[in-house]
Chains A and B, each alone.
Chain A
Amino acid sequence: AQSVAQPEDQVNVAEGNPLTVKCTYSVSGNPYLFWYVQYPNRGLQFLLKYITGDNLVKGSYGFEAEFNKSQTSFHLKKPSALVSDSALYFCAVRDGGNQGGKLIFGQGTELSVKP
């Protein structure tokens, strides 16, 4: 069965510092990995995805993620954090074949960026 794990419930970063939100995955076959962000009282917004190709994926709002097959990881990164990046971040893997499917989410990591 496909699964993702986010080992940190919370990450605290000072504004201007680099940030990393960790995600590891377990899949059979090729992984289709996603990062979504959720701001308070809102739905989820797509940040980026990995399907195939370059291991470094660039996404919205200056975020990027590094796919590492040997470590089965897909960590989200940003070189310089902003206070407005404070939100709940979810890593997800796509389950199912090309007849529909679902996203399996990690438990989420709350990112707090302090001025």
Chain B
Amino acid sequence: KAGVTQTPRYLIKTRGQQVTLSCSPISGHRSVSWYQQTPGQGLQFLFEYFSETQRNKGNFPGRFSGRQFSNSRSEMNVSTLELGDSALYLCASSSEGRLRGEKLFFGSGTQLSVL
């Protein structure tokens, strides 16, 4: 079974631009969540989608948005990029995402650099 696939692997953007990151979950997984990883703040939850609906949201500004398609693939978008948005963005999938004991499967991430 293929793992979680994130594209692109690296991105370089300038301040004020917008960016779209893509995530393909493991086949059969319907829950997709996104995390931001930075050296200073560590791993922070952005949002979670299940069956095309946002089910949970973290404490990020409205510039961060996402969506999920009918095939469970997900995209996240960051508009009006700021220098502080430079981070590794990780996508994780799980089959249902409902059970608290369920483990997450992570992709390798997209490294975003904002100049």
Number of residues of chain B lying within 8 A (CB) of chain A: 27
Contacts of B42 in A (CB 8 A): 105-108
Q: Is the CB of B100 within 8 A of A94?
A: yes
Task: Digitize B42-65: 1 where CB-to-A-CB distance is under 8 Å, 0 elsewhere.
Answer: 110100101000011010000000
**Of B68-76, B77-85, B102-110, the one with at least 4 CB within 8 A of chain A:** B102-110
Contacts of A90 in B (CB 8 A): 43
Q: Is the CB of B100 within 8 A of A103?
A: no
Secondary structure of the B contact surface, majority rule: strand
A42, A94, A97, A102 interface centre (most CB from chain B within 10 Å): A102
Q: Does A70 contact B (CB under 8 A)?
A: no
A42, A43, A96 interface centre (most CB from chain B within 10 Å): A43
Contacts of A49 in B (CB 8 A): 101, 103
Q: Is the CB of B98 within 8 A of A99?
A: yes
Q: Which of B45, B50, B58, B90 contacts A44 (CB 8 A)?
A: B90
Q: Give the docked Cα–Cα distance between A107 and B104 (Å).
A: 18
Evaluate whether A100 and B31 lie within 8 angstroms (CB atoms) in the complex, with A42-B108, A108-B42 already known: yes
Evaluate whether A98 and B105 lie within 8 angstroms (CB atoms) in the complex, with A103-B45, A106-B42 already known: no
CB distance from A86 to the nearest CB of B (A): 18
Task: Digitize A26-59: 1 where CB-to-B-CB distance is under 8 Å, 0 elsewhere.
Answer: 0000001010100001111110010100000000
Selected A-B contacts with CB under 8 Å, 12 pairs: A32-B100, A34-B103, A42-B108, A43-B108, A94-B100, A98-B98, A99-B55, A100-B97, A101-B48, A102-B33, A102-B56, A103-B104
